[in-house]
Every structure is written in C-alpha cells, then in structure tokens.
C-alpha cells in the first residue's frame, strides 16, 4: 500500500513516516520545507534502511499534485501539511486560511480527480473550542476556537463532513491530536522549531541546552491544582502509531464511507509546573523560569477522553511522561541546533 504524506518532513510527519515504513507501507512525502528540513527524511531512511520518495512542492500547487497522482499509485493520503503557530495565525490570518484551508481543498480536489478515497487529517483538540467541558469527547459539537489556526481546523473538519455527504466513496478520518511531545528514542529525529519555539517542551529543552536563558510560564492563577495550565501530553511516537492504526481501521472497515473523528491523547492533564519538574528530574538539572501573565486565549485545562481510539483503533498512548522527557533530551542534547547539526 502506498501512502502520500503531505508535510511528512515536519515534526509529527517524520515520526509517522518512520512508523509507516516499519509497518511496510510505501511512502511518498510531499512537503514545501517551509517549516522543516530534508535532513529529517534522510535520517528516517537511515533509521529504517528504507527509501522514501520525496517531492518538494506546495499543497496549493494543484498541477504538481496532479502530476504526482498521475505517476503514482496512491492508496491513501495522510495530510499533515499546515502552518501551526497559534499566535502568528492572528497576525497573518489570510496566510493561514490560504495554506490550511485552501491547501486542503486542493489536495481533496486532486484526490477526487484520481479516485483516491482514503484521507487522514491532522486535526487538533483546539476544535473543541472554549464551549465544551473536559474531558473532550468526539460526540461534542465543534466549538469556536479563538485563533485563526484553530478556526482553520474546524473549517477543514466541516469541509470533510460536507464532502462525505456529497461523495459516497470518500473515507475520511480526523485525528484530533492533543499535545505531542518527545522524540524518536534514537535521538536522531525530533521537533526542530524555526526561531523561538511556540511550544513548551522545545522551549524547555533549549533552555536546558543553553540556547535560551529561562522559560516563561504563562500564568500561575488558573483554577488548576498548582495554578499553571494543564494539557494532555502524549509521546510523538504513540501519536505516529495512531496513524498506522487509523490506516488499519480504514482497511478493516472496507464498507465504511463518511468521516470519523478520533481523539489521540492519554486521557490525563499534566500541568506546566509538573512538566518542568519531570524534565528537571530526567536531566538532573534545574530549569530557570519566571512566571509571566497569562496569554490571551489560553484555556486553563483540557484533556482527552480517548476511549473511542482505545477501543476502535486498538490504540493506546503507552509511553510514560518520563520517556517523553528523556527522549526529548536525547534529541536536543545530541542536536543542539536541530537538523543543522
């Protein structure tokens, strides 16, 4: 089975490509490298001793995509390619809607043209918005996320639902990720943000390696156990394996058409202070931090009800918080400058 992976050179994409190769899928990566490096794919090839076909291209370039679909026998698409910085999305919303929404429509149009029906979408816990109570369950109505990034994910989920109503061959899966962290246990691939990291773990890791002075903890007055935000952190390799489980689910449900959503998370909320402590314990070193005011739009706490994925996909987020920390540190300390090393 051949899988086209858009955005496959990125953080979650590269770990998923590795899992796909280990499960004997053939993989084509399509990425414009706007937030990634080809080095991630080279390292995946080295780790698996398998080849990946790489095509540099933009998901908005329908002609290039058409050529690729024409030349290749593609059975399924896993669609990671997107811009993902929540703060930046409020500064340049049109760029986010163009890339994340229009780009997805382009892929779906080309898939339809070449009669490829299996589609796995990188959705996010952000689609539950501010309206829903925790833990989030797939049966809840989609919310209204405050950022254009979050709104782009809700819009794509809506587009998939409408497409499924109009095309009875379409078979979509929306995977709603919670907070992926960690790195492959080899320390060869991991999260390599360009510029100042937007996410907690890469920031902590860069403080630990001496690239940044101290961590800012945004808010200690949330209604949580220790006052800092709580999120559902899962190991990126567990998340990667969720995609293999979703392909397997599509394969087992040959009669299925429509769109099905699954939460991918551990089911536990962990606070920012608890993450800092866990990281300090893993590396046996203190992480300097300061408490800053809350950021606009940050929710106090959310986590997944992951029982649907546990039961139907036969998938569990098994790796421990300790492993998330040690794997992050192995990646960061071996590659202080990311893939530039």
Under the criterion CB under 6 A, does residue 228 sit at the interface with ligand NAD?
Answer: no
Asked if residue 147 binds ligand NAD (CB under 6 A), the reply is no
Residue 200 binding ligand NAD, by CB under 6 A? no
Which residue from 4, 5, 10, 44 is in contact with ligand NAD, where contact means CB under 6 A? 10
Nearest distance, CB of residue 168 and ligand NAD, angstroms: 27
Retrieve residue 294's tokens. Answer: 């809350």
Name which of 59 and 204 has its Cβ closer to ligand NAD: 59
* 230-231 and 171-177 strand pairing: unpaired
Please identify, using beta-carbon distances, which residue of 17 and 207 lies nearer to ligand NAD.
17
151, 133, 142: which is closest to 90 by C-alpha? 151
Alpha helices of 93-196 — where are they, by DSSP H? 93-96, 103-113, 148-166
* Site membership for ligand NAD, residue 19 (CB under 6 A): no
Which SS3 state, helix, strand or coil, does residue 219 take? Answer: coil
d(C-alpha 40, C-alpha 252), whole Å:
31
Pairing relationship of beta strands 215-218 and 289-292 according to DSSP bridges: parallel
Q: Does 80 bind ligand NAD (CB under 6 A)?
A: yes
Active-site annotation holder among 97, 128, 149, 233: 149
C-alpha to C-alpha distance for 48 and 41, rounded to whole angstroms: 11
Residue 179, token pair as written in the block: 């907070």
The answer to whether 149 is a known catalytic residue is: yes
Tell me whether residue 35 or residue 305 sits nearer to ligand NAD (CB atom): 35
Instruction: Specify the residue, 170 or 177, whose C-beta has the smaller distance to ligand NAD.
Output: 177
Q: Is 84 in the site for ligand NAD (CB under 6 A)?
A: yes
**Is 12 near ligand NAD (CB under 6 A)?**
yes
User: Does residue number 97 form part of the binding site for ligand NAD (CB under 6 A)?
Assistant: no
Least distance from ligand NAD to the Cβ atom of residue 14, Å: 8
**Closest residue to bound ligand NAD by CB:** 10
Choose, by CB under 6 A, the member of 26, 31, 39, 327 that binds ligand NAD: 31
For 132-159, letters b (16+ CB in 10 Å) and e give eebbbebebebbebbbbbbbbbbbbbeb
Site stretch for ligand NAD (CB under 6 A), options 64-72, 78-86, 206-214, 323-331: 78-86
Question: 36 vs 266, which CB is nearer to ligand NAD?
Answer: 36
Number of residues that bind ligand NAD (CB under 6 A): 28
Tokens of 184: 């492959």
157 binds ligand NAD (CB under 6 A): no
What does the alpha-carbon distance between residue 238 and residue 210 come to, in Å, rounded to a whole number?
A: 29
Q: What is the DSSP string of 32-83?
A: --TT--HHHHHHHHHHHT---EEEE--TT-HHHHHHHHHHS---EEEE----
The kind and range of the H/E element at 6 are strand 2-6
- Whole-number Å distance between alpha carbons of 154 and 97: 11
Smallest separation (angstroms) from ligand NAD to the CB of 106: 9
What is the pairing mode between strands 270-271 and 230-231? antiparallel
Contact residue for ligand NAD among 170, 177, 249, 273 (CB under 6 A): 177
Residue among 34, 71, 144, 333 that touches ligand NAD (CB under 6 A): 34
Give the range of 53-61, 64-72, 106-114, 226-234 binding ligand NAD by CB under 6 A. 53-61
For residue 13, which phi and psi values (nearest 5 degrees)?
Answer: -60, -45
> Where does this chain bind ligand NAD (CB under 6 A)?
6-7, 9-13, 31-36, 58-60, 80-84, 99, 103, 122, 124, 177, 179-180
Catalytic residues: 149
């Amino acid at each position: 089975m051949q899988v086209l992976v858009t955005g496959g050179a990125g953080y979650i994409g590269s770990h998923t490509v590795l899992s796909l190769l280990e499960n004997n899928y053939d993989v084509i990566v399509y990425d414009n490298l706007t937030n990634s490096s080809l080095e991630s794919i080279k390292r995946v090839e080295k780790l698996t001793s398998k080849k990946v076909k790489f095509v540099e291209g933009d998901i908005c370039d329908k002609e290039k995509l058409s050529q690729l679909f024409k030349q290749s026998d593609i059975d399924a698409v896993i669609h990671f390619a997107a811009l993902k910085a929540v703060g930046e999305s409020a500064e340049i919303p049109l760029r986010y809607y163009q890339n994340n929404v229009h780009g997805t429509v382009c892929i779906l149009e080309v898939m339809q043209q070449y009669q490829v029906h299996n589609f796995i979408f990188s959705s996010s816990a952000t689609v539950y918005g501010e309206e829903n109570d925790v833990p989030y369950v797939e049966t809840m109505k989609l919310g209204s996320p405050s950022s254009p990034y979050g709104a782009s994910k809700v819009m794509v989920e809506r587009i998939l639902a409408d497409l499924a109503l109009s095309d009875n061959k379409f078979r979509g899966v929306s995977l709603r990720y919670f907070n992926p962290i960690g790195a492959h246990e080899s320390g060869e691939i991991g999260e390599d943000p360009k510029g100042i990291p937007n996410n907690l773990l890469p920031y902590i890791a860069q403080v630990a390696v001496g690239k940044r002075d101290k961590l800012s903890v945004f808010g200690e007055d949330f209604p949580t156990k220790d006052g800092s935000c709580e999120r559902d952190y899962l190991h990126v390799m567990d998340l990667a394996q969720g995609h293999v489980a979703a392909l397997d689910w599509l394969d087992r449900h040959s009669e299925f058409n429509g769109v099905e959503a699954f939460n991918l998370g551990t089911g536990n909320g962990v606070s920012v202070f608890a993450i800092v402590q866990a990281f300090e314990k893993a590396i046996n070193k203190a992480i300097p931090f300061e408490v800053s005011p809350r950021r606009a739009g940050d929710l106090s706490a959310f986590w997944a009800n992951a029982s649907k994925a546990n039961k139907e996909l036969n998938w569990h987020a098994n790796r421990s918080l300790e492993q998330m920390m040690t794997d992050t540190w192995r990646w960061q300390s071996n590659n202080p400058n990311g893939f530039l090393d």
